[in-house]
Amino acid sequence: MREPYRMGGLPDRVTVYEVGPRDGLQNESAVVPVEVKAEFVARLAAAGHTVIEATSFVHPKWVPQLADAAELLTTMERVPGVRYPVLVPNERGLDRALEHGVTEIAVFASATETFAAKNLNRTLESQFEMFEPVVGRALEHGLRVRAYVSMCFGDPWEGPTPVAQVVEVGRRLLDLGCYELSLGDTIGVGTPGHVGALIEAFGGPGRLAVHFHDTYGQALANTLAALRAGVTVVDASTGGIGGCPYAESATGNLATEDLVWMLHGLGVETGLNLQALVETSTWLAARLGRPSPSRVVQALSPRK
């Protein structure tokens, strides 16, 4: 790694919230064997990750790739000091998470009416009727609850998402007791000024995290804008895999390696071993049958 050069207004350390095993793999058409998923999670922990979103208890009819969630949680090794949150869509998902000893969950909301209907089969308002009992019961059982909000910058059916609408949805989730709110640019249309304006509309970074997709090549620029606004938690997917099965225009997530290259170049600590991440992505790409979209993985992988 080259010598770092600091920029003003950046945090000393950033937590990379790894979503590869869940948000990354969920969009893969060919089912990945549970043994490969378990090794993927183990490799991520060995590379230094302290939070790895392992899977989701979504109905297998909607996301067949994650039908093995219970088997994965039984199979995979849990490293002390590493958090393994699980996405749950409803109370049935919460029941299954509790049965398998999960200590942290995430819920997934929409900032727009159309995506709420397509992804959750709910209206923008009635989605909270689903989240309230899930969050309430999870907190009663001592679980930590994170919230995602999708379509924060734009929606493929509705166009640009009003900032005030995102803030209203996000604040309601935080008021339910979620410890953190991840702002998702599901279709990758955000730009740095928009990122800053949205964070400012929330009154500052507070309990915010960011989740960018790289559809228009803006994910790193948007991340830098979020960091300069005070955000210290960034979602990313090793190898840049992922998308959204309910929004065709949602391409891959921000690649963990690309993020780490930038952060280490800025002198921002992550606790992550970049070479180990590159090796993991190269290993996974071979099992998925296609090269990693991460530019850093492409640059640092051995040439054949």
Q: How far, in Å, CA of 277 to CA of 81, rounded?
A: 19
Helix (H, G, I), strand (E, B), or coil: what is residue 89? coil
Q: In which element (H, E) is residue 55 found?
A: strand 55-56
Distance CA 116, CA 109 (A): 7
| Beta-bridge partner residues of 184 | 211
Report the distance separating Cα 49 and Cα 270, nearest Å: 9
Beta bridge partners of residue 237, listed in sequence order: 255
- Give the number of other Cβ atoms within 10 Å of residue 267's Cβ: 13
Other C-beta atoms closer than 10 Å to the C-beta of 295 total 16
Catalytic site residue from 63, 195, 224, 244: 244
C-alpha–C-alpha distance, residues 53 and 87, integer Å: 8
> Do residues 236 and 11 make contact, with C-beta atoms less than 8 angstroms apart?
no
Strand partners, 236: 18
Contact 25, 241 (CB under 8 A): yes
Q: What SS3 state is found at 200?
A: helix
* Catalytic residue check, 244: yes
Please state, in angstroms and rounded to a whole number, the distance separating the CA atoms of residues 229 and 59. 37
Strand duo 154-155 + 159-160: pairing: antiparallel
| Most distant CA pair in the chain, distance | 54
Question: Which amino acids are annotated catalytic?
Answer: 244
